[in-house]
């Protein structure tokens, strides 16, 4: 009885500690076959069928915007992120995901706590791994106990369950229950993004707002220019990507005119956001780097 009470208390402490570390909530889109959807990269270009195969079944896509417009100001899309990279799933006029198969198994999981932590299992056959996509009982998705030493990455928590990916073999995605979390030990080797100093979300939201505003101006400008000169030149746009060193803003589709004054003005706005912070801003032509080290 004492051992049981001790485990309950330990589980409570772990839950409180992890909740304090992951106060960011998000919704995740999960699909059995990502290749069934039309996916665009961060440059809003279609991903090839061969590249789609690199995405595992039930890859968890963190939803950035559930319904937004692409740079053409016409195509609807769901903006998502996975492992620091942004993608777009195109939508139809009704805001539904475009899919080749009507019966493709997919789901949006709301109210999730972002984890992005790597663990190793310290006790043999104590962690039950369930290859069930949405916490639903199904004979189609098996269950298995994981061996001691197994490495896994926890992407998010939902209703006290962890959605994880095994770091070996087929690298399957699935769930582990609260009881199994007692046999997890946080790995010493976290990935570069979680080990580095994080830029405050408030600052990043300001950056994203500036990007949206600048891209809207470029789109409207090129719409007028193309109409006036009977052309179809793509509008330049700013993209944002995270890496081990920080955040990089890159001007895509750079026109011959270079837009030097516009770039300088935009750079000044970004520098103003981080003025007085511990994150230096560097400008290198058409790129702006916000460093964390």
Is 1.10.10 the CATH classification of the domain at 201-291? no
With beta carbons less than 8 A apart as the criterion, state whether 65 and 79 touch.
yes
The SS3 call for residue 209 is helix
With beta carbons less than 8 A apart as the criterion, state whether 251 and 236 touch.
yes
Question: Closest Cα partner for 47 from 65, 64, 33, 34?
Answer: 34
Give me the half-sphere count of Cα atoms (radius 13 Å) on the Cβ side of residue 187: 19
Residue 89 is predicted with a pLDDT of: 95
The tokens describing 89, both together, are 């799933």
Q: What is the mean pLDDT of residues 60-76?
A: 92
pLDDT band at 159 (very low <50, low <70, confident <90, very high): confident
Neighbours of 29 (CB within 10 A): 21
In which residue are the tokens 């189609």 written? 140
With beta carbons less than 8 A apart as the criterion, state whether 167 and 152 touch.
yes
pTM for the model: 0.56
pLDDT tens readout for residues 87-111: 999 999 888 898 877 667 788 999 9
Q: What is the mean pLDDT of residues 44-73?
A: 86
Residue range(s) in the chain whose domain bears CATH number 3.30.1240: 201-291
Give the span between the Cα atoms of 65 and 78, in whole angstroms.
6
pLDDT tens readout for residues 164-196: 999 887 788 999 877 777 788 887 644 434 333
Question: Closest Cα partner for 113 from 57, 162, 59, 175?
Answer: 162
Q: What is the mean pLDDT of residues 62-67?
A: 94
Give the span between the Cα atoms of 236 and 79, in whole angstroms.
19
The β-bridge partners of 126 are none
Question: Closest Cα partner for 85 from 99, 109, 64, 66?
Answer: 64
- Residue 258 CA, chain-centre distance (Å), reads 31
């Amino acid at each position: 009885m004492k051992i049981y009470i001790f485990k309950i208390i330990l589980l409570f402490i772990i839950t409180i500690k992890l909740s304090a570390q992951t106060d960011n909530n998000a919704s995740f889109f999960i699909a059995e076959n990502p290749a069934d959807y039309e996916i665009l990269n961060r440059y809003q270009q279609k991903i090839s069928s061969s590249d789609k195969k690199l995405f595992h079944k039930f890859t968890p896509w963190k939803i950035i915007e559930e319904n937004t417009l692409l740079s053409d100001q016409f195509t609807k899309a769901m903006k998502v992120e996975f492992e620091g990279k942004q993608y777009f799933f195109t939508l139809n006029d009704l805001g539904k995901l475009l899919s080749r198969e009507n019966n493709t198994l997919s789901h949006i999981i709301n109210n999730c706590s972002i984890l992005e932590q790597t663990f190793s299992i310290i006790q043999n056959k104590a962690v039950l791994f369930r290859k069930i996509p949405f916490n639903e009982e199904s004979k189609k998705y098996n269950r298995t106990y994981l061996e001691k030493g197994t490495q896994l990455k926890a992407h998010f928590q939902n209703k006290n369950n962890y959605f994880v990916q095994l770091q070996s073999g087929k690298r399957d995605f699935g769930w582990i229950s609260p009881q199994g979390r007692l046999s997890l030990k946080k790995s010493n080797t976290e990935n570069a993004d979680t080990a580095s100093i994080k830029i405050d979300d408030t600052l990043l939201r300001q950056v994203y707002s500036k990007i949206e505003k600048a891209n809207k101006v470029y789109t409207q400008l090129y719409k007028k220019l193309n109409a006036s000169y009977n052309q179809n030149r793509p509008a330049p746009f700013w993209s944002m990507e995270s890496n081990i060193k920080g955040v990089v803003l890159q001007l895509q589709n750079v026109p011959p005119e270079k837009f030097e004054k516009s770039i300088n003005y935009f750079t000044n706005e970004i520098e103003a956001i981080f003025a007085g912070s511990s994150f230096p801003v560097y400008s290198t032509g058409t790129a702006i780097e916000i460093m964390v080290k």
